[in-house]
Amino acid sequence: MPAPDDRNETEVRRFDDDGWTVRIHLTGTGPDGFLAGHADVSQAGLPRCRLMLVGQRHDPASATEVLETRARDFIADWSRRDHSGRTGFAEL
């Protein structure tokens, strides 16, 4: 768990995975009552990807689980690809 001063008020989960850091945020509910959120994926401290919560979720635990799964899938997919050329990340 991050230190309280290192955590944004919308952050609900953070985890590390082999040099990657994922911070999951639930940013509130829309007028329809569905949750909004995203996962910020960083590698070696550099931002690499933001994954948005899609679909209709009312339950924070379910929304967090969906974002964690998507982030882990992104990391696994990127790690499986060949990176022998100039296939690195573009600056965000």
Q: Is residue 60 part of a domain?
A: yes
Asked, for residue 38, whether it belongs to a domain, the answer is yes
Instruction: Please give the tally of structural domains in the chain.
Output: 1
9 domain-assigned: yes
CA distance 24 to 82: 27
84 lies in a domain?
A: no
Residues 56-79: tens digit of each pLDDT? 888 899 999 999 999 999 999 988
Asked if residue 45 belongs to a domain, the reply is yes
The residue among 78, 69, 1 whose CA lies nearest residue 43 is 78
Rounded to two decimals, the pTM is 0.78
Q: How many C-beta atoms lie closer than 10 Å to residue 47's C-beta?
A: 13
Is residue 11 in a domain? yes
- CB burial string 18-37: b at 16+ within 10 A, e below: eebbbbbbbeeeeeeeebeb
Phi, psi of 41 (to 5 degrees): -110, 125
pLDDT, tens digit, 9 for 90 and up, residues 9-68: 899 999 999 999 999 999 887 777 788 999 999 999 999 999 999 888 888 999 999 999
Any domain includes 13: yes
Inform me whether the pLDDT recorded for 8 exceeds 90.
no
pLDDT at 86: 61
Write out the residue range of the structural domain in which residue 48 sits.
4-69
Q: Considering the domain boundaries, does residue 75 fall inside one?
A: no
